[in-house]
């Protein structure tokens, strides 16, 4: 399969504010983004500081709902450079300093 890809580079810079979540960058369509955020928030709340388990649930859920190959990174203090399919990237923060990177490749 030949998918249009985009390259994204970033580093964690905390977003503080009154909102539970803050988007740093996304090119997802609204419906997909809403479902992704719902899964992310519920997984992070369920697994609390076990970010590897939360990321696994997010990845598996997105694979089922929107076809494979999703990748999810949840944590603090990381930088990244990824290539991903168009309309599949979400980079956001929860509670100010917990970064979530979700993308399909």
Question: Residue 96: its pLDDT value, please?
Answer: 84
Question: Residue 41: its pLDDT value, please?
Answer: 95
Question: Residue 2: its pLDDT value, please?
Answer: 47
The Cα angle at residue 85 between residues 105 and 75, in degrees rounded to 5: 60
Sign of CA dihedral 104, 46, 19, 94: negative
Q: Is the peptide bond before 69 cis (omega within 30 degrees of 0)?
A: yes
**In 7-50, where does DSSP find H-type helix?**
30-47
Q: Which residues of the chain have pLDDT under 50?
A: 1-2, 14-18
Q: Is residue 84 part of a domain?
A: yes
Helix (H, G, I), strand (E, B) or coil at 54: helix
Enclosing domain of residue 64: 5-12+24-104
Task: Provide the number of structural domains found in the chain.
Answer: 1
Question: Residue 24: its pLDDT value, please?
Answer: 83
- Predicted TM-score (pTM) above 0.85: no
Q: Is residue 46 part of a domain?
A: yes
Which residues have a Cβ under 8 Å from the Cβ of 78 and sit 6 or more positions away? Answer: 11, 12, 99
CATH number of the domain encompassing residue 64: 3.30.740.10
Q: Is residue 45 part of a domain?
A: yes
Question: Residue 11: its pLDDT value, please?
Answer: 57
């Amino acid at each position: 399969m030949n998918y249009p890809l985009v390259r994204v580079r970033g580093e964690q810079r905390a977003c503080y504010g009154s909102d539970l979540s803050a988007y740093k960058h996304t090119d997802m369509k609204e419906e997909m983004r809403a479902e992704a955020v719902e899964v992310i928030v519920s997984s992070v709340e369920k697994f609390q500081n076990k970010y590897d388990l939360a990321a696994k649930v997010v990845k598996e859920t997105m694979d089922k709902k929107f076809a494979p190959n999703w990748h999810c990174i949840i944590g603090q203090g990381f930088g990244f450079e990824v290539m991903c399919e168009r309309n599949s990237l979400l980079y956001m923060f929860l509670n100010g300093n917990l970064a979530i990177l979700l993308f399909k490749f």
